[in-house]
Amino acid sequence: MAPLAWFWRRALTALGQPAPFGAAIRAFYVSQLGKYVPGKASVVLIRTERLLTSTRASEVGGGSARVVAASVFYETLTHMAVGALLAAALTALVAQGELATRLGWIGLSVALAAVCLTPTLPPVFGWLLAKVGPARPDAADGLTTKLTYGLSGQGTLASAVGWLLGGVSVWLAAVSVGAADWAGLGRLPLWVLAAALPVVAGFVSLLPAGVLVREGLTLGLLAPVLGEGPALATTLAVRVIWVVSEHVRPNGVRRFMSVLPHNADQAVSVVVPVMNEEASLRELHRQLTAVADSEGYDLQVIFVDDGSTDATWRIIQQLADADAAVQGIRFRRNFGKAAALRAGFATATAPIVVTMDGDLQDDPAEVPKLLARLDPDSPDGGYDVASGWKRLRKDPWHKRWPSLVFNAMVSRLTKVKLHDHNCGLKAYRREALEEVQLYGELHRFVPVLCAAQGYRATEVEVNHRAREHGHSKYGVTRILKGLLDLITVKFLTGYGERPQHVLGGVGLLGFGAGGVGLVYLAVRWVVSRTVPGFEPLHLHDTAALYYSLALCLVGSQFLSVGLLGAMITAFLSQDRPHYSIAERRPRSVVMGVDERGSTARTGVGTLDPRARWIVYATLIAAAVGQAAGKIMAVDSVDYRRLEQSRVSQALDRERQRLVAEGVEGEELRTKLADRKEELKGELRLRRPFLSANDRSRWMAIRAIAETGEPYIDPFLEEPTWDTIDMVQHRGRDGELHLYSSKPPLLITLLAGPYWVLTEVTGTTLGESPYLLGRLILLPLNCGALALLLFSSARLIERFGVGDVDRLFAMTVAAFGTQLSAFTPVLNNHLIAAAFSALACDLWVRLLDSDEPLPNLSALAGLAAGFAAANELPALALTACIGLTLLIKRPSETLKRFGAGVALVGIAFFATNYWAHESVRPPYAHRSATDPDDNWYDYEYTAKGVTRDSYWRDRRGIDRGEPSKAVYAFHALVGHHGVLSLTPVWLLSLVGGAMLLASRDPTQRRFAWAALAVTAACLVFYLGLRPQSDRNYGGSTSGFRWLFWLAPVWIASIPVAVAKLQRSRIGMAIAVTLLALSVLSASYPTWNPWTHPWLHELMEKAGFDVLG
């Protein structure tokens, strides 16, 4: 029967009704009794009812009786069809005697007809199933919802194995009665025929278990071979063996009897958590048994040993061996009373569950009083929970008085008016307990938790006895823990599904109070400076300003915590009850929803896609907020403010000196004004925006907006506005000028907004670098980062498998790449990565769709082209996207995608020609033979000092690496290594390999393109660059020329994590790789132009890292 049980479970899954293996096997075996009493139809009823009642609704996909019944029909008919085919064929081939003569040719004809009709079975049966009860369409769970030839093939194989084993059992029965010997297995076809034909004929006869029909056919088949006497003995032995094998399993008789009709109203399960109670158990069991016998209860006693160190478990074993009504559970250690009760509740089978302590202080004779309050027919009954009240408590005063205070507080706060919440003697209806999740020490609040779901609770005065054996397991700390648990219960019952109502309320109150304070201060500040007679208000000296800001900050934190709590609640509540139904009319089972309003999980993930996007948005907001904070921290050391302070102090000293010499009036003011200008030149310290690399771009923006020319010579004369990223060539005026070495497209695009800012603010970058720099960087880099993360999230959602792998990959995108380190500076790497992500997102959408999408194609061309304009190797990605789209949608690609790329290309070359009078970008002018075409070899004069080009004599880590092998090592796994600093990309390698083998054509194309682009970039950077250019990107946080590939690699991570999360070790590896990557991304803080931590570590260890 085992192969058939396996096939039935496969059929359940195919029809959208998955079931746990153990539950399916138990239901299958138990249902075999239906063949005997009352008949075959009961097999369907018993198996369906057993499966739906022995498992939670979420474990069987919602609990549809029609679908389960249909799966039973499908399994049974498949089994019988294969048996008929075998019987027909074997009858013609191996049967002997008169029966073979009558059935031989008919059987062979039926077999041939069955073979011809086999291809029609799945669609025909599928149509019948659709009429009986359609399968649930649920695309999210990845289950097939129609019958397939593959499933029919599995059923045929399982049935054939089942019939083969049935033949073996017939042979063993013959051996057991002496009708055959061990060599008789050579007649296996005959034994299989003796198993298949009688069973199929008995099934068709509709008689219970095919009685007499099966015996007659078995006897007729075996008599010509074995003789009538041995054949009769074998026939009877086969029937007995099959009946026993179908129903008897380990503990099978007792478990089987549990599904037979019995007085369910009198069934009671008693759960007794115990710890070191060896002296009380036997007496407690005796008293419970006596009460059950006198009241007529069907008793089940469950002892839960919570980590006892004495002989408690040995006594429980002895009681269980002596009494079938006793069951024992032993914990490996002490997990607490709540865990013990939860384990007992999960084991209890009766509709009424009683809990009591094992120290004999709870009197079993009081159980009938509790059960009477649960009896709906009793005048004072109908409750769902009955709690004992130890009115005359046999405990010392130092336990009674704290308990009295505690119970009063619980009743007041929870509105559940019980005098003794701590009493261990309680009775519950099963449905009430199924909606309560116990953990920690919440066992004393079970009535409160039940009442929160709408169940009615009452209390009954019970006898409390003094402890005779052992000692109490609770001390003074129980009161303190109880108060903390009370707070937890109050929050769970009042705000468990709406934490934002309490946390958000506090947050709004704090934020509102802070906002009112800020508005008040703003009004006072304006009035003090516009209305005569008011003393000017200095906000920085006002304590109310800081209190208001603190209130706003604390309020926003409470709001954020409330939002996170609401999101976590939404995630966890999908399998928790949202409401509780007392009764239905008519009684029916609703697909996918149980009586508690709990919906079944669908698919590999458990989050709704909208909930996942809430998490994505939260991660994006956190990453963008972090980037904004880095941008605002650029002047953490404000050289400008320090300079002004030094000038002011020196000017004060000069004033004192002049006054001491007798200088005053207009002469004093004139001399101080002249001296102030001198001091500005002498004491100037500021270095705007961190590094010489940045200033090359900033000066080019200033030049275009302030002078209308692209060369930056005039700004080099300003103190601290020096740079190394310069080239020199003749301009339109025929003179030699210095220019930024960066392609001018991005610089030209930013010059417009900068000019607008100068007009609006009346200042320039030279005068207010931090103000204007922030105004440009905040929208530019934060917007680019948001675009990068949003597009990456779309790719992750498309390529992900479940929730864990998707959220892991999104965390990598937000915090695990070194792109985030470049947000405080003006650079091309972040811009290129953002538009690469957008291009990939649009590319995947175009590959997935068969609809004409001309606008998306054009936008994809613009994005891919702009990425290539900022990072030259991104041309490889642009080419891959264009080629794949050209195959799928040729006309649209040529007209729209090509037009988008061409538009960016025209802008790129046009701005380059305007700035340099050459269509080639500056880095293409490095001729080794023509001095006029080598823009990097020059000398220049600034501030009266003649200097050589930085490129003539690169120093430190900018010096070209002589060895390609050493360069490749450090760029990949060394001090600036992509894989050593951000090892999370190792998951991309694994995921990429998995995507290459995917059945999804889009995923395969994406993986091949990612492999080709990555390989092209590695060959270009590590193999084709000249020796002078084989540097590591200068003092920077990593090998920055590959950072734009981050979104391509991120999309490959989810499938790898989905594989790793199947084991704890695999997930631990993934999390470790992520942690190391976040460390490398966070190490630069607000300045990416610093060496990586691994470089610093190797240098301190004495390694030669070209420092």
For 1058-1096, how does the pLDDT look when each residue is reduced to its tens digit (9 = 90+)? 989 888 888 889 999 999 999 998 888 767 777 888 888
- What local confidence, expressed as pLDDT, does residue 762 receive? 86
What is the rounded radius of gyration, in angstroms, for the C-alpha atoms of the chain?
Answer: 41
- What local confidence, expressed as pLDDT, does residue 880 receive? 94
Quick one: three-class SS letters along 599-649?
A: ECCCCCCCCCHHHHHHHHHHHHHHHHHHHHHHHHCCCCCCHHHHHHHHHHH
pLDDT mean over 92-114: 57
767: its two tokens: 């005068």
DSSP label of 934: B
Of 278, 322, 331, the closest CA to residue 301 belongs to: 322
pLDDT mean over 521-547: 80
Position 690 pLDDT exceeds 90: no
Q: Which residue has the higher pLDDT, 725 or 1028?
A: 725
185: its two tokens: 């297995």
Residue 227: other Cβ atoms inside 10 A: 12
CA angle 911, 914, 917 (to 5 degrees): 120
Of 82, 114, 86, 89, the closest CA to residue 104 belongs to: 89
Position 104 pLDDT exceeds 60: no
> pLDDT digits over 850-899, tens only?
899 999 999 999 999 999 999 999 999 999 999 999 999 999 999 999 99
Percentage of the chain beyond pLDDT 70 is 72
Mean pLDDT across the chain = 77
- What local confidence, expressed as pLDDT, does residue 760 receive? 85
115-119, 365-369, 938-942, range with the lowest pLDDT: 115-119
Distance CA 305, CA 271 (A): 11
Of 811, 1028, 777, the closest CA to residue 926 belongs to: 1028
Question: Which amino acid belongs to residue 674?
Answer: D
Q: Which residue has the higher pLDDT, 333 or 27?
A: 333
Confidence at 483, pLDDT banded by 50, 70, 90: low
pLDDT mean over 955-975: 79
843: its two tokens: 């590319």
Position 1028 pLDDT exceeds 70: yes
pLDDT mean over 979-995: 93
For residues 270 and 214, is the Cβ–Cβ distance under 8 A?
A: no
Confidence at 145, pLDDT banded by 50, 70, 90: very low
Highest mean pLDDT of the ranges 161-165, 274-278, 748-752: 748-752
- What local confidence, expressed as pLDDT, does residue 1052 receive? 95
pLDDT mean over 309-321: 90
Backbone angles phi, psi at 765, to 5 degrees: -60, -30
Q: Which residue has the higher pLDDT, 333 or 143?
A: 333
Distance CA 279, CA 52 (A): 41
Position 829 pLDDT exceeds 70: yes
Phi-psi region of 918 (alpha: psi -120 to 50; beta: other; left: phi over 0): beta
β-strand partners of 267? 298
What CA–CA distances, in Å, run from 1031 to 724, 975, 1027? 15, 12, 8
Distance CA 863, CA 216 (A): 80
- The DSSP element (H or E) to which 465 belongs, if any, is none
> pLDDT digits over 540-589, tens only?
677 888 888 888 888 777 777 766 666 655 555 555 554 445 554 444 43
817: its two tokens: 């790449």
Quick one: three-class SS letters along 362-425?
A: ECHHHHHHHHHHHCCCCCCCCCCEEEEECCCCCCCHHHHHHHHHHHHHHHHHHCCCCCCCCCCC
Residue 1093: other Cβ atoms inside 10 A: 16
- What local confidence, expressed as pLDDT, does residue 914 receive? 93
DSSP label of 481: H
β-strand partners of 939? 948
β-strand partners of 386? 427, 458
- What local confidence, expressed as pLDDT, does residue 407 receive? 67
CA angle 535, 536, 537 (to 5 degrees): 110
Question: Which amino acid belongs to residue 664?
Answer: E
805: its two tokens: 């792998």
> pLDDT digits over 788-824, tens only?
999 999 999 999 988 899 999 999 999 999 888 888 8
What CA–CA distances, in Å, run from 825 to 40, 634, 710, 778, 781? 78, 9, 21, 10, 8
For residues 1009 and 877, is the Cβ–Cβ distance under 8 A?
A: yes
C-alpha 1022, offset from chain centre: 37
Position 154 pLDDT exceeds 60: yes
Q: Exposed/middle/buried for 965, CB within 10 Å: 0-12, 13-18, 19+?
A: exposed
Confidence at 129, pLDDT banded by 50, 70, 90: low
> pLDDT digits over 914-956, tens only?
999 998 888 888 877 788 888 888 888 876 777 788 777 776 6
For residues 348 and 430, is the Cβ–Cβ distance under 8 A?
A: yes
Q: How does DSSP assign 1053-1080, residue by residue?
A: HHHHHHHHTTSHHHHHHHHHHHHHHHHH
Confidence at 131, pLDDT banded by 50, 70, 90: low
> pLDDT digits over 454-467, tens only?
788 888 888 888 77
For residues 380 and 335, is the Cβ–Cβ distance under 8 A?
A: no
Q: Which residue has the tokens 């096939």?
A: 7
102-106, 448-452, 562-566, range with the lowest pLDDT: 102-106
Distance CA 201, CA 86 (A): 13
Select from 3.20.20.10, 3.40.50.300, 3.90.550.10, 3.10.150.10 the CATH code of 263-495: 3.90.550.10
Q: Which residue has the tokens 């050589």?
A: 948
- What local confidence, expressed as pLDDT, does residue 440 receive? 55
- What local confidence, expressed as pLDDT, does residue 27 receive? 65
pLDDT mean over 34-40: 46
Position 1053 pLDDT exceeds 50: yes
Q: Which residue has the higher pLDDT, 468 or 21?
A: 468
- Mapped onto helix, strand or coil, the DSSP state of residue 441 is coil
Percentage of the chain beyond pLDDT 90 is 23
pLDDT mean over 148-156: 72
pLDDT mean over 303-313: 91
For residues 797 and 609, is the Cβ–Cβ distance under 8 A?
A: yes
Q: Exposed/middle/buried for 788, CB within 10 Å: 0-12, 13-18, 19+?
A: buried
- What local confidence, expressed as pLDDT, does residue 603 receive? 38
Position 18 pLDDT exceeds 70: no
- Would you kindly state where each structural domain of the chain is located, as residue ranges? 2-251, 263-495, 639-683, 777-1100
Position 343 pLDDT exceeds 80: yes
- What local confidence, expressed as pLDDT, does residue 451 receive? 74
- What local confidence, expressed as pLDDT, does residue 143 receive? 35
Position 634 pLDDT exceeds 70: no
Does residue 536 have a cis peptide bond before it, meaning omega lies within 30 degrees of 0? no
